[in-house]
Structure 1
Amino acid sequence: MQKRNENFFSALLLSLVLGVPSADARPVPEAIQKVLLPWQPLSMKLIPDDVLTIVTKEDRVTQKIYTQAIFSICSTLWEKPKAWRGIKSIRVLNRHAYQGMVFEGGEKECLKMGQITSDQLDIFILGITHAGRE
């Protein structure tokens, strides 16, 4: 009986850490999943408010991690525009989904990002960013 309880609690803990897909969450477009694969996110979901939420394996989402993630995600728009239909903002969160940053932009902002010089990129991204959590 004790082994059965251990298995139950292990499964429960795993589902809490990885996140159980919400019934109303939509699948993340494959092009975005592929670009995020090297980051090994704990979860990715696209919720009904058109918010792409990425839970990273990091204890803390730094400005560097955040800007690199946003740039990587936005780069999919330049290659696969259909992957971006309906995304209005992007949350990049730490492993606990408690700390992170939110990019308040979608297709229009990502297209503009593609026209900005690299030395202005961080300023542009952070200009439409606020702190966030799930």
Structure 2
Amino acid sequence: MSTPEENKRIVRAFLETVFNQHEIDEGMDAYVGETYTQHNPNVADGVEAFRENFKETFAENPESYFDIKRMFCEGNHVTVHAHWTQNKDDRGSAVMDIFRLEDGRIVEHWDVIQPIPEHIAHDNTMF
């Protein structure tokens, strides 16, 4: 099993390559296993479904950016708290992703996405 630091490095590299550089094929080939179990209800299961979904997403949102705020690792699960925006005018969403790795490859994913409202009931940020 990989160390927690190695697992976080793999997930960070995957997110940077796919979600910030929009190099989907390169990121999937380098960091994702042959099988990819998806738990997001809006994205179909599997490697090819992920590729197609995000090629379309990034074609529609070429300025999309995933700003990682913090990462946690327990065993082969890495959790990421991030601010995801689609363009410079977008307030974006607070995202919590959980990735499961096997043999140094991402094989499973869960997420919770919360849009950032215009007004919040306190002076804290969502990050």
TM-score where L is the length of structure 2: 0.29
Q: Which has the higher strand share?
A: 2
Larger Rg over CA atoms:
1
More helix by share: 1
TM-score (normalizing by structure 1): 0.28
